[in-house]
Amino acid sequence: MLNTNSRYLHDNIVDYAQRLSETLPEKLCVFYFLNSGSEANDLALRLARQYTGHQDVVVLDHAYHGHLSSLIDISPYKFRDLDGQKEWVHVAPLPDTYRGPYREDHSNPAVAYANEVSRVVSSAQEKGRKIAAFFAESLPSVAGQILPPVGYFSLVAQHIRRAGAVFVADEIQVGFGRVGKHFWAFQLQGEDFVPDIVTMGKSIGNGHPVACVATTQAVSRAFEATGVEYFNTFGGNPVSCAVGLAVLEVLEKEQLQAHATCVGSFLMELLQQQKKKHPIIGDVRGIGLFIGVDLVKDAATRTPATEEADYLVSRLKEDYILLSTDGPGRNVLKFKPPMCFSRDNAQHVVARLDTILTGMEETLRSCETLRPQA
């Protein structure tokens, strides 16, 4: 009646895989179930290496892909403060059009940033390295709530596949309708783009430990050809699959993807109004219920307002509003609320944000008034 090892079949795992497959492009039709996003990304790395016969990985700067040793190694956000960059890891510039080398005034940032990936790949190949995979969060989160320019992933995929590598889309933080417009964040890049591997976690189980790797028949067959059986003691167990199915049912029944678009657009409007009012807000970016508010000391230089962001988060906490900061400068307010987050919730949060920012500005003006004149 109940088992906890994926060696033994149960209808739930088959039903769940079928239901998930209906949300994805047709070629992503093989599913591996696991317990956490980190475990999913680790398996994705194994799949990529087995399929390509290569070892090296290209990642985006400031990326984070999990807490296992294999994933710390491909997470610049972590390894820069630990053992440093391994020789098999190659870092490409973050496609950030607010702070990166190619900004909002560039004629074609998608091409420019994709060419940087091509340059990184070529540089690695000149040293005799062979690329197995390009790993990217479909919307880089820890890096500061970044929206890559449309078309970037398709161009990167061309460069990567030309090098004999696969494209891994990490949807762990941003999948399952959060972006509103699409069910998966990678779909924001256009219908012509399909990753070779997609990893899922976090929201897949709404708090229950579930994760998944979706890939193609070709990648899966290469993995099976090793003769080393893949199984998982708890990943894909009937209870976890029942949870996963329930999450998909609620997302559909309560129309939470459309809700993310509606409430997210409203929240963006409110935050844009705050940007006009408060000079400390340098940028408001996002889609659906994935939004970043970039706080700056100076609008021209875009210097991160790290201390101010930290103070703001602490003050909001006193009002029982939990926000955190992200980005290399720890100055980007990260809005990724539960999918049931309402318009009333949005108004409440922004009203408190406005009150605190206004108080900060008044304090700053008082200090400037009291400062002795030269």
Per-residue pLDDT of the chain (374 residues; tens, 9 = 90+): 777 777 888 899 999 999 999 999 999 999 999 999 999 999 999 999 999 999 999 999 999 999 999 999 999 999 888 889 999 999 999 999 999 999 999 999 999 999 999 999 999 999 999 999 999 999 999 999 999 999 999 999 999 999 999 999 999 999 999 999 999 999 999 999 999 999 999 999 999 999 999 999 999 999 999 988 888 889 999 999 999 999 999 999 999 999 999 999 999 999 999 999 999 999 999 999 999 999 999 999 999 999 999 999 999 999 999 999 999 999 999 999 999 999 999 999 999 999 999 999 888 877 766 666 55
Q: What is the CATH number of the domain that holds 292?
A: 3.90.1150.10
CB within 8 A of 146, min separation 6: which ones?
A: 94, 95, 96, 139, 140, 285, 292
- DSSP annotation of 341: -
Tell whether 246 and 275 lie within a shared domain.
no
Domain boundary among 254, 287, 316: 254
Tell whether 249 and 332 lie within a shared domain.
no
Q: How far apart are CA 160 and CA 256, in angstroms?
A: 34
At 338, list the tokens: 């539960």
Domain boundary among 203, 234, 254: 254
Tell whether 225 and 115 lie within a shared domain.
yes
Tell whether 238 and 330 lie within a shared domain.
no
Domain count, the chain: 2
The closest alpha carbon to 168, from 152, 150, 153, 149, belongs to: 153
Determine the structural domain holding residue 187 and report its residue range: 11-254
Tell whether 227 and 287 lie within a shared domain.
no
At 357, list the tokens: 């920012």
pLDDT value at residue 372: 61
Q: Is 1 part of any domain? A: no
Q: Is 336 part of any domain? A: yes
Give the pTM: 0.94
Tell whether 156 and 201 lie within a shared domain.
yes
Domain boundary among 235, 254, 273: 254
Q: What is the mean pLDDT of the chain?
A: 95
